[in-house]
Structure 1
Amino acid sequence: MPEIGLTILLALAGAGLALLVHRTFRAANARRLSRLAYFNRCKSLLTTPRLGQSVTGFPRLSGIYKGSECDLQVVPDTLTFRKLPALWFLISLPCPLPIRASLDLMIRPTGVESFSGFHRLPEQIAIPDNYPEDCAIRTDQPRHLLPEHILRPHLPLFDDPLIKELVISPQGLRIVFLAEEANRSRYLIFRDAEMGRTPISPHRIAPLLDRLLAIKADIERHSRHATRDAA
């Protein structure tokens, strides 16, 4: 009789373990599929869209937007000292620009922004008047920065409290914004930091791509005028 009871207990334990493994697998597969679908709605913005996958399981989308190459990616930040884990969205125009210095304007830098090269730039410069009060600016060549009149018209970009960073470099342009934070209740109670369940809206991305194109056009226009004046 004890042997029968032990057999039944072992069978129940085995069934419970199998159910747990099955549910864990289903949850992991659902998470993988939801992450892969994160850019599905944005494909319509681009011609010749190209979809890849990063090591985090999130996709990376590239293609042509209004004649210019663009790159979209997200970087999860789950560092424990943050109040909540975050999902950072990086919008880039990888293109050669007629400038010598890199400039990185970041709101409230902490020193551990895993998505950014902000702190690898060697020089921090004074904040000009009427720039965001809580920003910092770093560069690699302070003598060759863009004239302020080029960047200043684009500072309303930072009226959006979710915008984190603007990068202008000889290799291209980038805007970074906070796309999502982990659900507070699920994170505090269950340590569930899953993000990106809902695909990002193209209406969130298109205005920022347009902003990058406008900055690019202003830089190129300034370069043409400078070349003409020097001739």
Structure 2
Amino acid sequence: MKFLIWALVIAIGCGIAVRLRGQSAKRFAVRGRYFAAVEKLFAAPIVALAPTGFPRLSGHYQDALFDLQVVPDTLTYRKLPALWLLVTLAEPTPARATLDVMLRPRGVEPFSNFRDLAVQIATPAGFPEDCAIRSDAPEAAVPAALVLKHLAGLDADLLKELVISPKGLRLVWLAEEADRTRYLAFRDSEMGKTPLAPARLEPLLNALLALRDDLKELP
């Protein structure tokens, strides 16, 4: 009798394991298509999968090299899990120092090196009140007026970070938040089921190109 009970327990356990593996494979397949709709924006795009199952894309848009990444963030305390889109113009710029503007900083941003920059800068007038700014060389950083000009053209509710550095430019954007009801009830934090739309990405690509062009005009 005990043998039959244990055999039943093992069979149920194996069934659950097989079902979970199937669900995991399906979830990774869905995640892997997240950039499928925006690949057409780039010349000769190269796509690889990150350990999270989400893709990373590299390609040329208007003759400039861009890198796209997606970072799921499920660790932020008392906030819904978020899916962050990192849009990087991966080419040298005329900037002489790194300047990092972080909106709503919490100190646990998994996608950023913000806390590693040595100097905290006082927030200039006109900048979002809930932002923090750091640099590795404030005296050589891009003028605040130029940064503010480009921040003003972005949705502050979705923008998380703007990085200006000699190595390139980056926007970190809130692509998605977990469904509140499902997360609170079942701790379901699955995101990225719908591929990123070109209409959402293209304005961010153009914003970084415009910033690059303005940097070239600096004395």
Which TM-score tier does this pair reach, normalised by the shorter chain? over 0.9
From 137, 144, 148, the counterpart of 2:140: 144
Alignment match, 2:109? 113
Aligned ranges for residues 62-141 of structure 1 at < 5 Å?
62-79=58-75, 81-141=77-137
Displacement after TM superposition at 1:151 (Å): 2.3
Displacement after TM superposition at 1:185 (Å): 2.2
From 41, 57, 81, the counterpart of 2:53: 57
**8 Å contact from structure 2 (residues 97, 136) kept in 1:** yes
In the alignment, structure 1 residue 161 sits paired with structure 2 residue 157: yes
Displacement after TM superposition at 1:214 (Å): 0.2
TM-score between both structures, scaled by the size of structure 2: 0.92
Q: Unaligned 5+ residue runs, structure 1?
A: 227-231
Deviations along 1:164-216, one digit per CA (max 9) or x if unpaired, are: 11000000000001111122222222222211111111111100000000000
Displacement after TM superposition at 1:16 (Å): 2.9
TM-score between both structures, scaled by the size of structure 1: 0.88
Runs of 4+ in 1 over 6 A off after TM superposition: none
In the alignment, structure 1 residue 44 sits paired with structure 2 residue 40: yes
Deviates further, 147-156 or 51-60: 147-156
Mark the CA change 1:80 to 1:105 in structure 2 (over 3 Å): closer, same or farther: closer
User: One-letter code of the match for 2:212?
Assistant: K
User: One-letter code of the match for 1:200?
Assistant: L
The number of residues matched between the two structures is 219
Q: Unaligned 5+ residue runs, structure 2?
A: none
- Give me the whole-angstrom Cα distance separating, in 2, the residues matched to 1:13 and 1:181: 38
- Give me the whole-angstrom Cα distance separating, in 2, the residues matched to 1:40 and 1:171: 27
- Give me the whole-angstrom Cα distance separating, in 2, the residues matched to 1:34 and 1:181: 17
Aligned ranges for residues 15-54 of structure 1 at < 5 Å?
15-54=11-50
**8 Å contact from structure 2 (residues 100, 162) kept in 1:** yes
In the alignment, structure 1 residue 209 sits paired with structure 2 residue 205: yes
User: One-letter code of the match for 2:200?
Assistant: R
**8 Å contact from structure 2 (residues 95, 164) kept in 1:** no
**Larger C-alpha radius of gyration, 1 or 2?**
1
Deviations along 1:93-114, one digit per CA (max 9) or x if unpaired, are: 0111122111011111111111
- Give me the whole-angstrom Cα distance separating, in 2, the residues matched to 1:15 and 1:83: 39
- Give me the whole-angstrom Cα distance separating, in 2, the residues matched to 1:177 and 1:106: 11
User: Would you tell me which structure has more helix in proportion to its own residues?
Assistant: 1
- Give me the whole-angstrom Cα distance separating, in 1, the residues matched to 2:121 and 2:31: 38
In the alignment, structure 1 residue 185 sits paired with structure 2 residue 181: yes
Displacement after TM superposition at 1:30 (Å): 0.6
Displacement after TM superposition at 1:90 (Å): 0.3
- Give me the whole-angstrom Cα distance separating, in 2, the residues matched to 1:213 and 1:45: 14
Displacement after TM superposition at 1:10 (Å): 5.3
User: One-letter code of the match for 2:146?
Assistant: I
**8 Å contact from structure 1 (residues 61, 73) kept in 2:** yes
Alignment match, 1:196? 192
